[in-house]
C-alpha cells in the first residue's frame, strides 16, 4: 500500500481526507485505485484519453514522476504519492 497525499482542492472529493491509502504496483495503478474509491477525482486527474492531466503534478516521494517513468513508475509499500496542482492564492 502507498499513501496518496490529497491536495486541498481535491479533498472535498475524498471526504475531506488529506491522505488516502491506495494499492498498486506503479503510480498509474495507485491513482486508478484512488479514482476507483473516489470516482469524483477521476476527471480532475485524468484526461479523456486516460493520460494524466498536464496541470497535475505527481510525485513519488520527492521526485516528479515526469523525470521517472511517468505513470509506469514502480511503487513500493510505504511509498508516498503526492498529487500537486498549482495554487495561486496570495494577495487578495
Partner 1 sequence: MALYFLKLKLIRFQGIYFKMAIDTERVQTIEEIEPFEAAEEINGGNVVLIDTREPHEYQEAHLENGKLVPPGLIADEIAEAAPDKSARTILYCRSGNRSAIAAAQLQQLGYENVASMSGGIVQWQEQGLPVVSPSGMTAEQRERYSRHTLLPEVGVDGQLKLLNAKVLLLGAGGLGAPTALYLAAAGVGTIGLVDDDVVDASNLQRQVIHNTERIGMPKTASARIFIEGLNPDVNVVEHNGRLDSSNILDVIKNYDIVVDGADNFPTRYLLNDASVRLRKPVVSASILGFDGQISTFVPYEGPCYRCLYPTPPPAELAPSCSANGVLGVMAGTMGTLQANEVIKLVLGKGEPLVGRLLLYEALGTRFTELKVRRDPDCPICGENAEEIPESEMGKFPDYDAFCAGAGGDR
Separation of CA 16 from chain center: 15
Decide whether 7 or 70 has the Cβ nearer to partner 1: 7
Residue whose entry in the numeric block shows the C-alpha cell 480532475: 44
Tell me which of 20, 67, 79, 81 binds partner 1, using CB under 8 A. Answer: 67
Binders of partner 1 among 24-43, rule CB under 8 A?
Answer: none
Which letter, b or e, does each residue of 3-19 get, where b requires 16 or more Cβ atoms within 10 Å of its Cβ?
Answer: ebebbeebeebbeeeee
Smallest gap from residue 11 Cβ to partner 1 (A): 9
Written as nine digits, the cell of 21 is: 491509502
Interacting residues with partner 1 (CB under 8 A): 5, 7-10, 18, 44, 54-57, 59, 62-64, 66-67, 82, 84-92
Amino acid at each position: 500500500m502507498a499513501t496518496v497525499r490529497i491536495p486541498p482542492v481535491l479533498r472535498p472529493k475524498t471526504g475531506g481526507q488529506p491522505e488516502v491509502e491506495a494499492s498498486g504496483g506503479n503510480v498509474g495503478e495507485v491513482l486508478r485505485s484512488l479514482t476507483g474509491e473516489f470516482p469524483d477525482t477521476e476527471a480532475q486527474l485524468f484526461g479523456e484519453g486516460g493520460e494524466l492531466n498536464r496541470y497535475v503534478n505527481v510525485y513519488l516521494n520527492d521526485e516528479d514522476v515526469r523525470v521517472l517513468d511517468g505513470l509506469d513508475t514502480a511503487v513500493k509499500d510505504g511509498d508516498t504519492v503526492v498529487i500537486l496542482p498549482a495554487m495561486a492564492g496570495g494577495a487578495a
